[in-house]
Amino acid sequence: MGFVDQKSERQKQEEAKSNEAKEAFKKSTAESLDKMLGVEEKTEVNQKDEEKSDESGPPVSVSDDVLKEILRAEKERQPIDEEAEQKIGEVFQSVKKLSNKNKLDSDDAANLQSEFESLVELLAPASIISKADTEIMKTKVFGMNSFWVTGSEPYLDMEGGWIFRGNLRGNREEVYEATERRMIELFADKYELMMVEEPETDDDMDASMDARGGPRVSFVIVPTQLVKQPEPSSWQTGIALLLAGLTVLSAIQLGLVAEVTRLPSETLSWFSSPDNVDSGAVPPGLENFDPVEYFNAAMPVTLGVLASAGAHDLAHRIMGLFRDVKLSVPFFIPNGQLGTFGSVTQIRSRIKTRTQLFDVAAAGPLAGGAVALAIFINGLALSATGDAADLVKVPSSLLQGSLLLGSLTQLVLSVDLSAAREVAVHPLLIAGWCALTTTALNLLPVGSLDGGRMVQAALGRRTLGLTGLLTYLGLALGALGASLSLPFGLYVLVTQRVPETAPRNDVTEVSQSRSSICLAALTFAIFVLLPLGADVDPSML
């Protein structure tokens, strides 16, 4: 029974819809051609007139202007090359020759129908896979020793896609590699091959499991132009540079705010009154104040935040080179509380495997997080043993915003954050804290964030849908990221909510070590973003 095509009712309905769509396209094309050729719909009167015309003389000849009109309209609809234009001309001339005959015999009628179908095929949208190509795929791309096709139909989950169902006859990766080579040999880059888990049907669940273990697989063919990424425009580069400049300014602002206690006391008192801020007067106490020294004191926080963000993006690009994945320019997102929310980096090429997707996604937060952790630990050590003059006071409520980082701070500095109003810390601790929080936010398993891409690659798209829902719920309730939850949630909804496009081989799973790294990264993100409660004992962590 494995070689017999047992289609479910849903599959038959999909195939019927596909045939209806093709017939509708042929009919609409025929009607358009009839209008240009001056052909009217046959009625009883028309038929009698035709019988008389057969005796009286030849039909009206087809003008070459019709061909020019067809080519002009086709070029406006979609670009056609010189070879296709020549072929359309040849078919049109054949149709013209047959139409000029006094009377068509059965052979002429068959030839006319064949030529008409050829013309319809040439004028079909490029997003439609031709019947001839699907037959070549069944007989020459797939086979008994790789993938035995038992049925094919339109792939409703992807525009223009065509799915081939059947029985896998070997190792998934080996079959995919061999099938892809044959596709390239026969069609060059006309189509793209994808291997996916076989969509669920109304049949028994056991039927969707492969005898070799794991889910059954199907192959999806889609025209390359439908999945090809558009070329980046110059304005995108300009926006990326503008955002990078704003991010630097945001990081400088963060450093200045962190060192605000270095301002004269009378200046701080003046700024504490809202009426004075809008008065336009010069704040008192700044007559002999050295702004250069104040600016230099802000640099540890500024440079620490930018170093982590830079390492994050650089790691993405280095891994992209190793894995042959093209990336867009980074669009850094400035934020006043953290310096930056990270960057939006688009994948500009079609990823081949889940492993490639995972490696490129994980490289950024691992590198940026490592730099941030080093800065935080260094700042923590300097806070405990450094010169008191180098320390700045921060509200203890701020340090309670992270379960993991707040607990480490309490443990090392031997301070009770719930009882203390302020805590003196080194600026590097603030820089590391902000950078680690940014890293944790980008590890959230939602959309096309790094965490979302990692979960999609390691655990699958369905799992990503569930974790994404839980993430949005946590951000909406303020349970993740405290005061950052609302702005970051809006940022994700606007720019990162859509998951990454599935790899071409979306069946072969990543290694167990990568899955473990994914789970560890998610755990880290949750512990960083959950707030520190007053009843939490740091020694338990």
Q: Are 456 and 498 in contact (CB under 8 A)?
A: no
Local confidence band at 516 (pLDDT 50, 70, 90 cut-offs): very high
Local confidence band at 320 (pLDDT 50, 70, 90 cut-offs): very high
Local confidence band at 371 (pLDDT 50, 70, 90 cut-offs): very high
Which among 22-36, 104-118, 180-194, 240-254 has the top mean pLDDT? 240-254
Local confidence band at 445 (pLDDT 50, 70, 90 cut-offs): very high
Q: Is 401 left (phi over 0), alpha (psi -120 to 50) or beta?
A: alpha
Question: In this predicted model, what pLDDT tens digit does every residue of 15-44 receive, in sequence order?
Answer: 565 566 555 555 555 555 455 444 444 444
Question: In this predicted model, what pLDDT tens digit does every residue of 380-415 receive, in sequence order?
Answer: 999 888 787 788 888 888 888 899 999 999 999 888
Question: Model-level pTM?
Answer: 0.72
Strands (E), 156-304: 161-168, 191-197, 217-223
- Say what the pLDDT of residue 540 is: 38
* Residue 484 identity (one-letter amino acid): L
Where is 429: in which H helix or E strand?
A: helix 427-442
Q: Are 534 and 418 in contact (CB under 8 A)?
A: yes
Query: Helix or strand or coil: residue 147?
Result: strand
Q: Which residues share a beta bridge with 505?
A: 195, 353
- Residue identified by tokens 């790691």 is 315
- Residue identified by tokens 């558009």 is 230
